[in-house]
Amino acid sequence: MLLDLDKLQSPEIPTPDTQPAGVIVSPDTRRENRIPPRQARTRKWPVLDAYGPPRVDLKTWRLEITGLVEQPLSYGWEEFRDLPRVKVFSDFHCVTRWSRLGNLWEGVSTAEILRRARPQPAAKFVVAHGYDHGWTTNLPFAHFVSEDVLLADTHDGRPISAEHGGPLRLIVPRLYAWKSAKWVRGIEFLAQDHPGFWEEGGYHNIGDPWREQRYRGA
């Protein structure tokens, strides 16, 4: 596990009240205790992944929206950057038991993707596809459409580095961080659940940190 010391936070915990107008605030940041069971706050931002950062060329990068949708979508980098953008303030909980409180993400909301792709009624699950060796993760449709979920390309005002999942990362604040897929290249809508890389290895299909859904059967 590496540590990104450039992302070291001050001892004070960022709060929703300090955010500018228009920022979407993740509900978990308003909890009296923002740290889930058996987690500990870190001021750093550790780096964890299965294979290491893939090489992603922005000249050929594409985001594909596929599966059970009325309108499949495909975006190049500049096309994606031209979509309406949002900012989200959220906490970030890793299954390895650390939590980084108070992150400001910017990118395109999943609500915008839904508006354009128009998922079919049969779509009950989502699979995020990464550029790293075909890596995937799955999540229920209801979690994907939460107001604080977005496809982020900046973190705390800076482009997301390759080590942290840039150029584009899915951010699902209310689930463990492995559901916030790095190096995203595709979003697929499905009728049936389809476990991803870590889920096939025994991780939980949902991954709610407040319920400690780390592993299958939790």
User: What ranges do the domains of the chain cover?
Assistant: 38-45+58-211
- How many Å apart are CA 198 and CA 171, to the nearest integer? 17
**DSSP, res 135:** -
Summarize pLDDT for 60-110 with one digit per residue, the tens: 999 999 999 999 999 999 999 999 999 999 999 999 999 999 999 999 999
What letter represents residue 44's amino acid? K
Return the CATH number of 38-45+58-211, one of 3.40.190.10, 3.90.1150.10, 1.10.150.530, 3.90.420.10: 3.90.420.10
To the question of pTM greater than 0.75 for the whole model, the response is yes
For residue range 109-125, list pLDDT tens digits in order: 999 999 999 999 999 99
More confident residue, 68 or 1: 68
Contact in structure between 54 and 132 (CB atoms under 8 Å): yes
DSSP-H helix ranges across 71-109: 77-81
Q: Please give the angle made by the CA atoms of 61, 65 and 68, to the nearest 5 degrees.
A: 160
169-171 vs 73-76, strand pairing mode: unpaired
Are the C-beta atoms of residues 100 and 45 closer than 8 Å to each other? yes
Q: Tell me the per-residue pLDDT of 36-49, one tens digit each, with 9 for 90 and over.
A: 999 999 999 888 77
Find, among 117, 113, 178, the residue nearest to 150 by Cα.
113
